[in-house]
Amino acid sequence: MSTPLFTGRPHSLALVASVSFVSLLVLGILAASVGGDGSSTSGKSSKRQQDKGKKRPRKVFMRGLYNLGNTCFMNSTLQSLSSLEDFKEYIENCAAFIMRNERTAIDPVDAAIALQLRNTVIQLVPQTRKVPALSPRDLVNSLSKRVRWVSSRNEQDAHELFQMISSTLNATRREANTSLFDSGFLSSSLPIDAPVFSPTPTARDYPQHRQDVADDSAESSILNGEPPKDFRQPVSRRGSSAASFRMPPFSNPFLGMAADRIACVKCGYTAAIRHFTFDNLSLALPMARRTTIEECLSMYTEIEQLSHFKCSNCTLLATLAHTEKMIRQREAELATYVDAGSSSSSSSSSSSSSRKLQKLKSSLKALHLDRRRLDNAAAGSLENDLKGIELTSPPPGVSTKQTMLARTPRILVLHLSRLIFLPTDGSVKNPVHVTVSPLLDISPFTTTGHISKNASKPISGSEAHSGTRRSASLSEAKRMNCLYRLCAMVFHAGTHDSGHFYTYRRVPLSSGKSDDSNTSQQQKRSFEDEAAQWFMISDIESKEISESTVFSAGNAYMLFYERV
């Protein structure tokens, strides 16, 4: 007896037949698609390959910082610094240098601040998952040993904290009494773009990878701001031996140099152009509704008039003219006394005339010596020592002053000074809207190879003071080390006396590793197209925001840029 193929009800047979028919129909459609021109299948395949080649940006989360009592000024500064790759390299190098020179002339309080700062920054990197907020209490304790206002629980200033951190880090890497030439900043052997010092990592160099930092007694004492047991105090360079360590082979990324010129409009004299270093620039803001960061930099570098400045050359010329006038007067008085003495026969009057004659001769001799010194100064350098000569003030004149950037830093920090002093001795906050862009070209505000001493013209460039001198392209600005990318902004919400600090922080999108075949294409990709995510971070709270939100906000207090 044969077994039937289907043993169910008649409608079951119909259902199976229907499913088989639909399956054959689908297969027929697919076969037709493959058997045709193949455009549909190839298009879908190409799209799948493109989608596979494009890696979706990984989801990132930002770690917040607990507010330990009005410490939002510190939290916003730390988040901004953590967005800077050059700063992270710098703080790692500082920490490694400190640990390699732990028993030398580094101040233990400065060393503790640097190490605690490094330990905090490395934990503020973007995370692949949500992590609990971080408490910066150890860093606050270290900072409080340098300045007590950090832990006072009063509202403080983010800009002031940045300046303190920058000077502290610079102190940890500078030998006592070391000049800028000794530090390598001005020497040709160590240009500003010298390779960053990358020591061989060890367990002690990276305490975050160890279970307990306190296992290392030396590092534990430094983190607590205490000198090691065999700590040696600094030895003056004037003594028999030099200090116990030299400058580290890495530079301060915040350090830039500006050129300052003062020139007289009346006589055309220009004093020697003086240079000074800076780690941030404080920019005055106009009394207007809107402005741009370029206009603020133009105000910083514009030519300003000094109505009460005394020109050295005008003072010298006035003193020289007064000295020559006094010489003529003494010569006339001397001739009068000689004539009077020759006609006098009295012994008493003759003795008096002789004393007066001797006094006039001494005075005339001193005036001739002064004139000789003044002539030498006028022919040579006005900075010659004119001690002992009573200088004559010239008539009021007009001088000009201008400051331009002579050497650009790797990290450019701009402080937007929003403080306005009122005639009533009070102060308010300037609400002007300052427009910023992702990229900043500062070439109009930098010196070139040509230096002008004309009081009415800028130090370099015909239109530098107006901010209209531009590089031919952003690529040219990049080649000149004048192109910067905005990485973070610190904001202050509230009045001048009270409020809250928060941060906008940029996180570049990870493109992943690529093979050699794609390297040339990536190099051709313009730096203008570098994609990134932006986050608003306020203490422990963080959320992703759009670029339109970032660049439409005009109430920034501090701007952090990295050189492209």
Residue 242: the pLDDT is: 37
pLDDT in tens, 385-438: 778 888 898 888 889 999 999 999 999 999 999 998 888 888 899 999 999 999
**Helix, coil or strand: residue 6:** coil
Give the H or E element holding residue 260: strand 256-264
Q: What is the pLDDT along the chain (564 residues), one digit of tens a residue?
A: 443 433 344 444 343 344 344 444 433 433 444 344 444 445 545 555 555 555 556 789 999 999 999 999 999 999 999 999 999 999 999 999 888 876 566 788 999 999 999 999 999 999 999 999 999 999 999 999 988 888 888 889 999 999 999 999 998 876 433 444 444 444 433 333 333 333 333 333 333 333 333 344 545 555 655 544 443 343 333 333 333 445 567 889 999 999 999 999 988 888 888 999 999 999 999 999 999 999 999 999 999 998 888 888 899 999 999 999 999 998 888 887 776 655 555 555 667 777 778 888 889 999 999 999 998 888 877 767 778 888 898 888 889 999 999 999 999 999 999 998 888 888 899 999 999 999 999 999 999 878 888 888 888 865 444 444 555 588 899 999 999 999 999 999 998 888 999 999 999 986 444 444 454 445 444 666 688 999 999 999 999 999 999 999 999 999 999 999
For 359, which DSSP code? H
Beta-sheet pairing, 433-435 with 290-292: parallel
Q: Which two tokens stand for residue 51?
A: 């989608």
**Cα angle at 535 between 532 and 540, to 5 degrees?**
150
Q: Which two tokens stand for residue 129?
A: 């998952």
**Helix, coil or strand: residue 520:** helix
**At residue 372, what are phi and psi to the nearest 5 degrees?**
-65, -45
pLDDT in tens, 90-104: 999 999 988 887 656
Which residues, 6+ apart, have CB-to-CB distance to 530 below 8 Å?
A: 485, 508
> What is the dihedral sign for C-alpha 5, 7, 8, 11?
positive
pLDDT in tens, 228-269: 444 334 333 333 333 344 556 788 999 999 999 999 998 888
How far apart, in whole angstroms, are the C-alpha atoms of residue 140 and residue 147? 10
Helix axes 312-343, 347-379, angle to 10 degrees: 160
Give the H or E element holding residue 164: helix 158-172
Residue 349: the pLDDT is: 62
pTM: 0.74
Burial of 177 (0-12, 13-18, 19+ CB in 10 A): exposed
How far apart, in whole angstroms, are the C-alpha atoms of residue 100 and residue 555? 43
